């Protein structure tokens, strides 16, 4: 054999072996890949179910939660008096019994505090209901009457009415 032929055989063998190694690597990689794919958990439809539930969920929900009540502003008797009642009762406007005029208030007080409250809440003759301020509560009215009577020197043994949000 001449060295020329030897060399070409060598080259052919190297190419062949390289090809085989390459093929082995490729086969190995394919096998590994198939193994990885096979290891994925079988689809039990749970993901699909979750997606469907998400898609068909109701647009709105009815809530039975109680809305928080607006914070009622607690006014004391004197505050209500100054804000509303004084407009007429300070000077006796429209014939209102004047604050401090005991002779005007005594016959009214003789009716009883509850009656005065009822009259002031619903209005009596020239006296508008709640003095014209419907935002006042019955407790506000009672507190301000007690205040007016106190300023007049008439003692009521009524404690300031508890604030009831109405």
- What's the token pair of residue 87? 């407009």
Nearer to ligand HEC, 80 or 139 (CB): 80
CA pseudo-torsion sign 154, 157, 163, 166: negative
Q: Which of 82, 90, 128, 161 binds ligand HEC (CB under 6 A)?
A: 128
- With contact defined as beta carbons under 8 Å apart, do 164 and 136 qualify? no
Encoded one letter per residue, x for contact with ligand HEC by CB under 6 A and - for no contact, window 97-126 reads x----------x--x---xx--xx---xxx
The whole-angstrom separation of Cα 74 and Cα 144 is: 12
Q: Which of 75, 84, 139, 146 binds ligand HEC (CB under 6 A)?
A: 84
CA pseudo-torsion sign 53, 59, 63, 68: positive
Nearer to ligand HEC, 19 or 165 (CB): 165
Encoded one letter per residue, x for contact with ligand HEC by CB under 6 A and - for no contact, window 51-80 reads -----------------------------x
The whole-angstrom separation of Cα 25 and Cα 132 is: 96
φ, ψ for residue 145, nearest 5 deg: -65, -45
Say whether residue 137 binds ligand HEC (CB under 6 A): no
Q: Is 21 exposed, middle or buried (0-12, 13-18, 19+ CB in 10 A)?
A: exposed
Q: Which of 88, 99, 137, 139 binds ligand HEC (CB under 6 A)?
A: 88
Residues that bind ligand HEC (CB under 6 A): 80, 84-85, 87-89, 93-97, 108, 111, 115-116, 119-120, 124-128, 130-132, 136, 141, 144-145
């Amino acid at each position: 054999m001449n060295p020329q032929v030897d060399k070409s055989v060598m080259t052919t063998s190297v190419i062949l072996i390289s090809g085989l190694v390459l093929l082995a690597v490729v086969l190995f990689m394919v096998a590994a890949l198939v193994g990885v794919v096979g290891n994925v958990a079988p689809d039990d439809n749970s993901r699909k179910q979750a997606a469907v539930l998400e898609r068909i969920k109701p647009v709105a929900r009815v809530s039975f939660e109680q809305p928080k009540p607006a914070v009622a502003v607690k006014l004391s008797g004197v505050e209500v008096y100054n804000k509303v009642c004084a407009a007429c009762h300070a000077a006796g406007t429209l014939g209102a019994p004047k604050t401090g005029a005991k002779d005007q208030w005594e016959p009214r007080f003789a009716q009883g505090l509850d009656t005065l409250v009822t009259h002031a809440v619903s209005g009596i003759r020239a006296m508008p209901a709640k003095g014209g301020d419907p935002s006042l509560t019955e407790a506000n009215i009672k507190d301000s009457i007690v205040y007016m009577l106190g300023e007049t020197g008439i003692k009521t043994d009524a404690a300031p009415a508890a604030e009831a949000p109405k």
